[in-house]
A and B are shown apart, each in its own frame.
Chain A
Amino acid sequence: MKKLLALALSLVLVVGLFGCGAKTETPAATTAAPAAETTAAAETEAPAASATGSVYYLNFKPEADAAWQELAKTYTEQTGVKVTVVTAASGTYDDTLTAELDKAAAPTMFQAGNQGAIDAYGEWCMDMRDTDVYKEMTTDDFNLKGEDGSVLAIGYCYESFGIIVNKALLEKAGHSLDEITNFESLKAVADDIHARASELGFDAFTSAGLDGSSSWRFSGHLLNMPLFYQFRDDGVTKQPATITNKYLDNFKAIWDLYTTDSATTGAALTTATGDQAEAEFGKGEAVFYQNGTWEYSNLTGTFGMNPDDLAMIPIYCGVEGEEKAGLCSGTENCWAVNKEAAPEDIQATLDFMKWVVTSEEGTTMLAAEFGPCPFKNAKTPENVFCADANKLVADGNYSVTWAFNWTPGVDDFRAAVVDALTQYVSGTGDWAAVESAIVDGWAAQYAKNVG
Chain B
Amino acid sequence: MVDALKEIWRALKPAGILIDLRPRAAKLPLDILYKNDVTPAGWVDDSRDQADDIAADKAMAKTVSQGYFVLERKATFSYLMYWDALEELTMYVTDRWRSAQLDETTVDNTRRLLVERGPAAKLRTHREMRIARYHKRS
Say whether A associates with B. no
Which residue numbers of B lie inside 8 Å of A, CB to CB?
A: none
